Amino acid sequence: MSRIGNSPVAIPEGVTVELKDNVVTVKGKIGELSQEVLDITVKVEDGVITLERPSDSKDHKAKHGLYRALLNNMVQGVSKGWSKELELVGVGYRASNQGQKLDLALGFSHNIILSIAPEVKVETVSEKGKNPIVKLTSHDKQLVGQVAAKIRSFRAPEPYKGKGVKFVGEVLRRKAGKTA
């Protein structure tokens, strides 16, 4: 029995959900998202989305929970939005942005310039004495996570000093260095 798939998704005020040819479209004040749903029956009634699977096969059980989670993320995204914050830990590590271009100085011989998708809003915060922070916000959870992972991949945090790009609040597993 799928616990995630069986729970209904509540539709908040200002969000409309349309179902047409196995494609669920969710519109809200922040944006619009659509998702194709295969093998699972979707019902929209009384401000609630419910999903039902045709059988108890392993594939149907997996898709039941998956599509419920995706639809829930879409509804939350168009109503509240999603955000991720990345922290640049290291001497001389800087971040700045001009519109949708993110300029990162991460200790390489050159700066990394990344063009961010127009759906994702990027903001950089640099305070004296604190590590620079890159804030990403969008209505699409998957896109925010993908952009954040791409930025983190340029200089992943290392386990000895903790230098690199990490998520705010991420706890790193630290190692002891050499003993003399």
pLDDT at position 2 is 58
What per-residue confidence (pLDDT) applies to 7? 93
CATH topology of domain 82-167: Outer Surface Protein A; domain 3 (3.90.930)
Contact between 7 and 71 (Cβ < 8 Å): no
Which two three-digit tokens encode residue 157? 């945090």
> Could you tell me where in the chain the CATH 3.90.930.12 domains are found?
3-79, 82-167
CB atoms near residue 150 (< 10 Å): 11
The rounded distance, in Å, linking the Cα atoms of 158 and 151 is 15
Question: Tell me, what's the pLDDT at 179?
Answer: 84
Q: Residue 95's pLDDT is what?
A: 96
CATH of domain 3-79: 3.90.930.12
Q: What is the pLDDT along the chain (180 residues), one digit of tens a residue?
A: 558 889 999 999 999 999 999 999 999 999 999 999 999 999 999 999 999 999 999 999 999 999 999 999 999 999 999 999 999 999 999 999 999 999 999 999 999 999 999 999 999 999 999 999 999 999 999 999 999 999 999 999 999 999 999 999 999 999 998 887
Q: Which helix (H) or strand (E) holds 63?
A: helix 58-79
Q: What is the dihedral of CA 46, 50, 54, 57, to 10 degrees?
A: -170
How far apart, in whole angstroms, are the C-alpha atoms of residue 168 and residue 180?
A: 33
C-alpha atoms less than 13 angstroms from C-alpha of 109 in its C-beta half-sphere: 0
Residues in contact with 152: Cβ distance below 8 Å, sequence separation at least 6, in sequence order: 86, 164, 165, 166, 167
- Give the Cα separation of 138 and 101 in Å (integer): 16
